[in-house]
Amino acid sequence: MFFRSTPKYFKKVVSSFNSKQQKAIVELGFGSLLNLQLDYMPGKLAFWLASYYNPLKGTLPLFVGDGEHIDEEDVHLTRGFPRGRILIDRKGKNTNLALMDGIAAEVQKKRKYLKPEDIESIMMKEVDGGDYFKKLSMLLVEYCFIKAPADGFVRPKILKLIEDVSEIINYDWFGYLLFVLLTAHERWIKSKSRYYTGPHVFLVTCYVDRMILGRRNVERRFPTISTWNRKNLKKRQEEEINAGGFGRGFYGGADMVVYKCNEIEVTHKQLLSMLPYAKVGAAVVNGWSSYLNWNEKYKSQESPSRLFLTTFPFSYTVVDQNKEWDDEQAMKVFKDRVVDEMKYVENFLWRNFNLVFLPIFESDHFYVVCFDFLNQTINIIDNVYSEDDVDTRYGNKISKLIKYFINLLEQCHCSSYGRILARARRVVVPMRWRTKDNLIDGGVFAMRHMETYMGTKLADWKCDLTNKPSKAFQLLRAKICSAMLYCNDNTVVDTVLVRPPPTLPRD
């Protein structure tokens, strides 16, 4: 993918600013750019984003689902640009051509042939950071981060806006950037061989911050562009390609983190999937697994010892396996992911656990596989009723899961548990509350099953669920949210107490 502007150029310019020039950038409302770390754009990822960004819906692409909407809040969190009260007239004509004529005369070029280096050469002479410096710096901001003409020359559309530098901070730069994103996409999509002229830096950094692949490995700071750099962007692009292609993560939200335990995060926006009659997101189920692991320390001595994994180890290994991986590669990725999760469990040893719970997310539906080492059974707990046998219903996924887990146990020097799994009976648990109708609450069913199943006889399993949609499910959603948000092991509980998320509707 071809760009005329790169963040590397602007980073170089900013690094040469003196204290007065830096202060001037802050006064304009663009001080966030002083912390710019980017000097690289992942071309393959940028091309994919530009190709599949939906301008009508304003959504970032995802491999599964309709994508995630990006709005002015995303511009704020990604760039830190000012969001003033004055809307920018997108159809207005430039009326400040005198500024460009003056620059052209100074560098002895025609106005239409000015390059960003020409602007830079004059700007750096303005050591006092005055109004002229501010106007010139805005020309580079537009060129590098909003819109760069395909021919590489500086043809600003904001000349009218920067006539009075005191008003620059009062304009709605959020809305303007999104407008340019839309129009640039419409032009580029007709001929992808042309230079992309839109805000590609915003598109890429917004995506890598909002879409999480497995777990968040890059610290979140405001704004996003102060966090991402050449090293972690290259790594992220490589990880997405190895996972089977771009867009295979889950939405990480542009809002505050409301639950964090052992590096598992749930944001406010993700938690909204717990609203009544909404399909629960995988991030919430993963957070619930983390909560249940923490809660095990309070179990009675008579209760079995239980371990809960997240959905991540099974994604693109057992479920929707990456087509570029053979069985050995997928098995290794599975093992590495499980081992990574176990490092957060205190004094972890496989032989210390009687039940291991594996939440599976497949085809927009959750079910739970429970390895019961005491009773030597593999229990499949699925709220959707089916008369099909295991292989017909789940294909080879259960067999593959067992095979991968036996390999994991053997490599972790727990072959005795591996032998138990090899001869264990596979059982689809016939709960009386299985349903053919309630497909919306699949995630709630799965979380409740994980919480209450102790490996006992079905008659002794107290789950308090029904096979009909009812308000009991909405109450259970609220109870799960409350348990996660206010548990002592939630490292961001103080934030939640200060700024609690909106309460769930009663109806």
pLDDT along the chain (507 residues), means of 10: 78 92 91 85 88 69 54 69 77 75 93 92 94 94 89 90 90 85 80 78 85 72 79 90 79 70 85 84 94 92 94 87 83 92 89 96 91 96 92 92 95 94 95 86 95 94 85 89 92 68 43
The pLDDT assigned to 69 comes to 61
CB of 44 closer than 8 Å to CB of 241: yes
d(CA 32, CA 34): 5
CA distance 383 to 433: 7
Residue 178, both tokens: 């999104």
Q: Count Cβ neighbours within 10 Å for each residue of 61-78 and write b for 16 or more, e otherwise.
A: bbbeeebbebebebbbbb
Residues 6+ apart with CB under 8 A from 448: 463, 464, 465, 476
Alpha carbons 91 and 89: distance in angstroms, whole number: 5
First to last CA, the chain: 49
The closest of 288, 217, 293 to 252, measured between CA atoms, is 217
Least Cα distance to 5 among 124, 180, 149, 119 occurs for 149
Both structure tokens of 113: 């042939």
Report helix, strand or coil for 204: helix
Residue 58: per-residue pLDDT? 60
Phi, psi of 3 (to 5 degrees): -130, 145
The structure tokens listed for 392 are 């017909």
Instruction: Report the distance separating Cα 146 and Cα 169, nearest Å.
Output: 16
Domain with CATH 3.40.395.10 in the chain: 257-498
- Residue 237 CA to residue 43 CA, distance in Å, equals 9
* Tokens representing residue 355 in the block: 């039940």
Q: What angle do CA 58, 64, 69 make, to 5 degrees?
A: 20
Structure tokens at 157: 């559309």
User: Which residue is it, tokens 């071809």?
Assistant: 2
Unique residue bearing structure tokens 């917004």: 206
- Which residues, including other chains, have CB under 8 Å from residue 15's CB and lie 6 or more apart? none
* Architecture of the CATH domain 257-498: 3-Layer(aba) Sandwich (3.40)
438 beta partners:
none
- DSSP string computed for 189-202: TT-TTSPB-S-HHH
The closest of 159, 149, 73, 84 to 114, measured between CA atoms, is 149
Crossing angle, helix 72-79 and helix 200-210, to 10 degrees?
90
pLDDT tens profile 313-322: 988 888 877 7
The backbone region for 332, taken as left when phi is positive above 0, alpha when psi lies in -120 to 50, beta otherwise, is alpha
For residues 216 and 312, the answer to whether their CB atoms sit within 8 Å is no
CA atoms within 13 A on the CB side of 12: 12
Kindly report the pTM of this predicted structure: 0.55
Name the nearest CA neighbour of 144 among 309, 349, 4, 317: 4
Phi, psi of 341 (to 5 degrees): -70, -35
- Contacts of residue 200, Cβ cutoff 8 Å, sequence gap at least 6: 1, 3, 41, 46, 49, 50
CB 443 within 8 Å of CB 278: no
Q: How far is CA 351 from CA 66, 306, 374, 418, 420, in A?
A: 43, 11, 11, 11, 12
Backbone angles phi, psi at 146, to 5 degrees: -120, -60
Predicted pLDDT at 64? 43
Q: Which ranges constitute the DSSP H helices of 272-396? A: 282-295, 327-342, 390-394
- pLDDT at position 466 is 86
